[in-house]
Amino acid sequence: MIPLAQNYGKASVSLATIARDENISLKYLERLFAQLKKEGLIISEKGSAGGYSLSREPKEINVFDIVKALEGEMSPFHCLDESGKIFCSSKCKCGATAVLVKVQQAVNSTLKGINLSELI
């Protein structure tokens, strides 16, 4: 996403270029970009000068959006959903739930507070 942000408003960027510059497998990038496109974060342009570009300005895309698009629900703890709602068994008496909720909220808030333009 950073190479796309660096080229925002200019020409689209090919996956082959990103793969070469970032030393990442092209097949792996194809899977990632398919997911990013499905989630509406990028658009593709066909043709000999085609490639990928951001669907909106880098300042309008935050890191949370990117991670969620690639990883799915943003819940690092098995007993909480993405919003921090507890869904573990009522038999669960671990006592750590309040701490886990605060950690998850802090992580999500931090990721939402960093936009792509800050990374370029």
Q: Are 5 and 18 in contact (CB under 8 A)?
A: no
- DSSP-derived letter for residue 102 is H
Domain positions in the chain: 2-119
* Euclidean distance between CA atoms 10 and 99, whole angstroms: 45
- Over residues 77-101, the mean pLDDT reads 70
Q: What global pTM score does this model have?
A: 0.82
- Fold type of domain 2-119: Arc Repressor Mutant, subunit A (1.10.10)
The model's confidence at residue 91, banded by pLDDT at 50, 70 and 90, is low
* Euclidean distance between CA atoms 6 and 38, whole angstroms: 21
Instruction: Say what the pLDDT of residue 90 is.
Output: 59
73-87 confidence digits (pLDDT tens): 777 676 776 666 666
For residue 101, the Cα-to-chain-centroid distance in whole angstroms is 21
Residues 6+ apart with CB under 8 A from 2: 116, 119, 120
Query: Where do the DSSP E strands lie in 28-70?
Result: 42-45, 51-54
